[in-house]
Amino acid sequence: MSVKTHNALGRGFDSLLSNDFDKSILLDESERIQKISIDSLVPNINQPRKDFDKKALDDLSSSIKSHGILQPLIVAKIDDKPGFYSIIAGERRFRASKLANLKTLPVIVKEEENKNKLEIALIENIQRVDLSPLEQAQSVYELHQKFDLSYDAIAERLGKNPRTLANNVRLLNLPQYAKDALNQNKISEGHARTILSLVNTPDKQRELLNSIIDKEWSVRQAERFVIALKNLGGDDVETAHKRVLTQTPLTQKFSQSIKAPVSVRRMAKGGKLEISFKDEDDLKRIIDQLI
């Protein structure tokens, strides 16, 4: 008898309900998914994300037309506008749904204070993989400032490294022209951090940015420029540029002689000569030639 009872209960609570039973009535009111008119939704004025990529929205709109909204929006009632709801989380889905000409959207209505609304929106935005580095930085900064949360507390909430978050927020200290270059994908986040290391010499920051873009420097090359510039006292830009170069007439001559790529990496004192090889046989050939 006890075995039969155990097996019956082991099928789970759902097995006790009929197939047409509306399980949503078991949920708290604030957790139920409702369908409401898209015209009754209003974007949150505190939405951290300000820029929405048109192509990405078009792609999402096409997906919504085919598959619908897979994740409900989170909204809250607007006290002074009966029948209207402020979007806490999901404005990108809302915009794409308008492009798809949807009339209604699935939502979860939250009864939250304004401060909590913004916190939910910020956390969702930070966790989105398609946020730009500067948008992520701004969102973390807002959490830190408006909610009196330490970076450690924010990192724990987001499952991120505190140092990574703090370094990300530092991107907000970039000069505007560097921010523009980062937003336009002309430089990477690594490049941006390297530019930040010259914060006390704005003219050198612009010099570095121009070199990254014009000469297509890697992050490693940008770092070598900064190191060289600092070791040279911060003024000898021409020599710092030369120290970034991985090839010289001498290395090119050596490379031709041993029939292998040769590069030089300068350090604070001296540097390293690097010889590349294809495989073990190629390495043996080079060594035999050198000795």
**Angle CA(67)–CA(69)–CA(75) in degrees, nearest 5?**
175
**How far, in Å, are 64, 94, 254 from residue 70 at the CA level?**
8, 12, 60
The structure's pTM equals: 0.49
Q: Which residues pair with 35 in a beta bridge?
A: 106
| Contact present, 88 and 76 (Cβ < 8 Å) | yes
C-alpha span between 183 and 124 (Å, rounded): 20
Q: What is the reported pLDDT for 130?
A: 65
Which distant-in-sequence residues (6+ apart) come within 8 Å of 58 by Cβ?
99
Given 29, 31, 91, 274, which residue is catalytic? 91
Q: What is the DSSP letter of 278?
A: S
Q: What is the reported pLDDT for 64?
A: 86
| Contact present, 230 and 236 (Cβ < 8 Å) | no
Q: What is the reported pLDDT for 180?
A: 93
What residue spans define the domains of the chain? 174-244, 252-290
Q: What is the reported pLDDT for 51?
A: 67
Mean pLDDT (10-residue bins), the chain, 291 residues:
43 44 45 82 70 79 84 82 84 86 85 62 66 82 74 82 86 93 92 90 89 86 80 65 65 80 68 82 88 82
Catalytic, 91? Answer: yes
C-alpha span between 112 and 60 (Å, rounded): 28
Q: What is the reported pLDDT for 156?
A: 83
